[in-house]
Structure 1
């Protein structure tokens, strides 16, 4: 039997198809499209018409691929970009009408649950850890170990949302950076309070920006073939300093930094820096498995 998961993120739509055997699940197709559904979403809290159209056209392509592979079981989930938009339901209804794909709008708690399941499947969780999934609209945090999770929460501090609110200079000014740090401190107080008591030493980055960190630091890495990988923390700090201090043009010339992330990686780096410093985390591990793998796991 063939199963599939679709993850409608604020920036990127993902499709993953697996073949379900008795004892294992084999990935047979995987793709993502930079849809930018959350483009300008902070202005009127709406999916703008051009983004709406991009999303519909992408899902038409996904439907053709699902039919081509003969997928019999599918779950499509939408996260912050759709759930926070005033016309999110209109988008869901249009997708159903034009493609037949039924989309579940999941809340932040279920999103965190699915991320945990995906990361756990990657084998990245060894001891007390903090999983962080930096999306476009929201960022999820999960304190966990191999036995389970102990605290989880989704915050509306995604990279696209922060960029639209604070990124007003190029390179980003010290003043804008300070405003972001104040915003993070105000919004993440609960996370930091729990984290200091929990005592995690490892930050597990769930795909996305962390894949970019890994690929820029080590161009030889193939993130499509590994479930997890250690990211050298000193190399990360050097990269973060470079990303935050560089202009859009300078970042666009960095190998393995995809166009979608050229600016948002600055916001992702600032979130990562803040959490590493506040919780005194010593190790970074990339999990290439994330929410969409968690969705697949639940279907399996």
Structure 2
């Protein structure tokens, strides 16, 4: 039997906790997000005053399943399917320690675009007995926006442009008066664009290639957005944003949490030039840059620069509260 994630988790069926004890603790949920570059776990519960969600545990395993995503008819490789299934199984094992009342597994761009995406999700379901929901672009964008609403650092921000950059897609969400006005999902992910534009992903990126990537991003945005973007603060989520903040923090001798969440266009551009201007083997020595991301981070930074240019913004604010937080918030509302 496949668990749909909206009913009680099978973990509770074998954890040995008496029913009365389960009822006395705050409901807990576990979310697994199968992305293009990594697969991530969030375990959370309602905060004590019900003002938001309390994070109990997070864990990310770098597992790139999106190789070949730029092809006309992409397919997940056998190695990607095996690695992805193994990672999901491991994250479920880690979640078990928290006895979650509900578990939800979702997949995004790499799986929804792959011709054999259903084969992958069916294998996970067979091995774990949990359903995998493949989110479409608008639903992914909606849940990302819902996640941002749980970030206390953004509680006073009602009008802003939100971007979420992944390996396969870029979500762009315009919020005004805390309501979504536009939400689009574009095929501008860092893996996708790297495959399209970089002939040699181990070589430095020359100026012609950088210009071609940014021109493509700008044109795609300008033809996809309904009207022109108003000048609003930009809030950004996604692995590339996390890594960018972590690298800038390391350069200043700080932890990522102690480094300002605000990153300027100048900082992003200068970092891109430093990273993209050297070959891949030199990037591997950069503190806080995961080796699995070293080949695509320059493309991601080029994309972020182009988005800021189209948005007429000179900085962005990073938030950790992404897709997983939005799903957790909705699950907890139902508990």
Relative to the length of structure 1, the TM-score reads: 0.91
Summarize the alignment of residues 11-160 of structure 1 with structure 2, pairs less than 5 Å apart.
11-20=37-46, 23-24=49-50, 25-43=53-71, 45-122=74-151, 123-124=153-154, 126=157, 128-160=159-191
Displacement of 1:168: 1.3
Whether contact under 8 Å (1:12, 1:36) holds in the other structure is: yes
Instruction: Indicate how the Cα distance of structure 1 residues 67 and 278 shifts in structure 2: closer, same or farther if over 3 A, else same.
Output: closer
Displacement of 1:223: 4.1
The number of residues matched between the two structures is 297
User: Bigger CA drift: 6-15 or 161-170?
Assistant: 161-170
Alignment RMSD, CA only?
Answer: 2.1
Structure 2 residue runs of 5 or longer lacking an equivalent are: 1-26
Whether contact under 8 Å (1:2, 1:73) holds in the other structure is: yes
Summarize the alignment of residues 275-294 of structure 1 with structure 2, pairs less than 5 Å apart.
275-294=307-326
Instruction: Give CA-to-partner distance per residue, 1:27-86, whole Å, 9 cap, x none.
Output: 111101111011233345100011110011111112222333211201111101110101
CA distance in 2, matches of 1:70, 1:80: 29
Q: Secondary structure at the match of 2:289?
A: coil
Question: Is 2:215 the partner of 1:176?
Answer: no
Whether contact under 8 Å (1:215, 1:256) holds in the other structure is: yes
CA distance in 1, matches of 2:257, 2:323: 16
Displacement of 1:224: 6.0
Larger radius of gyration: 2
Structure 1 residue runs of 5 or longer lacking an equivalent are: none
Whether contact under 8 Å (1:19, 1:26) holds in the other structure is: yes
CA distance in 1, matches of 2:90, 2:111: 19
CA distance in 2, matches of 1:287, 1:146: 19
CA distance in 1, matches of 2:90, 2:231: 45
Whether contact under 8 Å (1:9, 1:81) holds in the other structure is: yes
User: What's 1:260 paired with?
Assistant: 292
Displacement of 1:286: 0.6
Displacement of 1:296: 0.6
Q: Secondary structure at the match of 1:42?
A: coil
Summarize the alignment of residues 213-232 of structure 1 with structure 2, pairs less than 5 Å apart.
213-219=244-250, 220-223=253-256, 229-232=261-264
Relative to the length of structure 2, the TM-score reads: 0.82
Displacement of 1:208: 1.4
From 193, 196, 219, the equivalent of 1:162 is: 193
Displacement of 1:9: 0.4
From 212, 227, 248, the equivalent of 2:280 is: 248
Whether contact under 8 Å (2:69, 2:191) holds in the other structure is: no
Instruction: Give CA-to-partner distance per residue, 1:210-250, whole Å, 9 cap, x none.
Output: 11121111225444689x82224432232122223222122
Question: Is 2:327 the partner of 1:299?
Answer: no
CA distance in 2, matches of 1:274, 1:287: 19
From 213, 218, 221, the equivalent of 1:188 is: 221
Question: Is 2:305 the partner of 1:273?
Answer: yes
